[in-house]
Structure 1
Amino acid sequence: MNALDDLVRICPPPGRPPSAVDWTTTEDTLGTALPADYKRLVETYGEGVFDDTIWLTSPTCTC
């Protein structure tokens, strides 16, 4: 079990799947690789706010 599994157990992701992100294009545009754990978090939860405290944005963020 990892930290994301723990988070999912405590705070289930939204019922609707988040928008897909083209990570290859995003990383090519940024000129750097993004952390795998960030990508898994975005793929699990999508963009949004946890408890009005932590903002999770993604390359497709409309917030």
Structure 2
Amino acid sequence: MKGKWDVQSWKDALRKLQSNHHTDMEAKTYSALELSYDSLESDEVRDVFLLFAAMPSNNDAR
């Protein structure tokens, strides 16, 4: 949500978070990641997000 200053964007984000009534941590984590992904500003940035998500956790991505 960085760089999002309009009220409607924040209301939409709040609605998305409130609509996910999950009880386990994995679902809550997914919900937060989905909101972050959906808020990215371009397809190129979303592609980079997905690239890093596909990397193994022990990968040194420098």
**Considering the TM-score relative to the shorter chain, is it more than 0.5?**
no
The structure whose Rg is larger is 2
| Larger fraction in helix | 2
The higher relative CO (CA closer than 8 Å, separation ≥ 6) is in: 1
* TM-score when normalising by structure 2: 0.31
* TM-score when normalising by structure 1: 0.30
